[in-house]
């Protein structure tokens, strides 16, 4: 479904990605784990076209993404919940969610999806008329995920969805991720909480300084020495 082949992405003269290749097949949850600065967020940015690869190709369902404008990529059915939330602070929670559905053609299906988001995050329903910027950090995180869901994407990119959430919500978030995956959404998940990510994912990639250094079934990665010591904090 999604394929990155030997992708090199630069910021100015700095090589952020040094030949990343990865595949996400339809219906999967795939996780990308790695230290801060390893290139996880850059990988997501390259997929969405907010930075362009200097070499290599990104393709999605037969379309080349690396030459396509970001808004067109989103219309192909890719949505993301970005790192650092990036909600619209001066618009209400409801308006933020409605904007998530901006590129959708099936207008009549939006209302039930809004209802679904409010059911997933009751806190957003309580705050529906508040400005996005007045929400607490964790609530903004919920809003960013909710907004991405409103696009009803076929591929959902999640950048650290559990960041800043209470333990009970971290559990909820990972349950939600499995739920929406079961409903047919393919997910590429970037997480610091590698343990949880590997528990819900089918396969995983480990990225170090811009290269994929390991790839395997998630269950295997959970057992891997390197992963356990570098990313799970075990001695």
From 56-64, 88-96, 108-116, 128-136, span contacting other proteins (CB under 8 A): 128-136
Per CB under 8 A, 211 contacts other proteins? yes
| Cβ atoms of 185 and 168 closer than 8 Å | no
Q: Residue 101 CB, nearest distance to other proteins (Å)?
A: 24
Return the residue of 52, 54, 182, 229 that touches other proteins, per CB under 8 A: 229
Per CB under 8 A, 197 contacts other proteins? no
- Look at residues 209, 188, 208 and name the one whose alpha carbon lies nearest to residue 197: 188
Place of tokens 């650290």: 160
Q: Residue 50 CB, nearest distance to other proteins (Å)?
A: 16
Per CB under 8 A, 136 contacts other proteins? yes
Distance CA 108, CA 113 (A): 10
Helix (H) or strand (E) holding 20: strand 14-24
| Cβ atoms of 169 and 133 closer than 8 Å | no
Q: 111: which 2 tokens?
A: 């209302």
Return the residue of 1, 35, 99, 103 that touches other proteins, per CB under 8 A: 35
DSSP string, 95-111: HHHHHHTTT-S-GGGHH
Distance CA 222, CA 172 (A): 21
* Nearer residue to other proteins within complex by CB, 23 or 232: 232
Per CB under 8 A, 141 contacts other proteins? yes
Which residues contribute to the site for other proteins (CB under 8 A)? 11-16, 35-37, 84, 123, 127, 134-139, 141-142, 160, 163-172, 192, 194, 206, 208-209, 211, 213-214, 225-226, 229-233
């Amino acid at each position: 479904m999604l394929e990155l082949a030997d992708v090199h992405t630069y910021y100015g003269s700095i090589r952020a990605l040094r030949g990343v290749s990865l595949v996400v097949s339809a219906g999967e949850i795939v996780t990308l784990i790695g230290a801060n600065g390893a290139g996880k967020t850059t990988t997501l940015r390259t997929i969405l076209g907010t930075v362009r690869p200097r070499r290599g190709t990104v393709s999605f369902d037969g379309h080349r993404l690396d030459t396509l404008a970001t808004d067109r990529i989103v219309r192909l059915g890719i949505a993301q919940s970005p790192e650092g939330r990036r909600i619209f602070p001066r618009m209400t929670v409801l308006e933020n969610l409605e904007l998530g559905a901006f590129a959708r053609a099936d207008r009549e299906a939006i209302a039930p999806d809004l209802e679904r988001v409010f059911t997933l995050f009751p806190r957003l329903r309580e705050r529906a008329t508040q400005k996005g910027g007045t929400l607490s950090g964790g609530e903004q995180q919920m809003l960013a995920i909710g907004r991405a869901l409103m696009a009803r994407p076929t591929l959902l990119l999640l950048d650290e969805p559990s960041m800043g959430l209470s333990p009970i919500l971290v559990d909820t978030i990972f349950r939600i991720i499995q739920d929406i995956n079961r409903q047919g959404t393919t997910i590429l998940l970037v997480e610091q909480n590698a343990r949880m990510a590997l528990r819900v994912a089918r396969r995983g990639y480990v990225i170090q300084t811009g290269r994929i250094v390991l790839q395997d079934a998630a269950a295997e990665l959970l057992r891997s020495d390197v992963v356990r010591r570098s990313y799970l904090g075990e001695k």
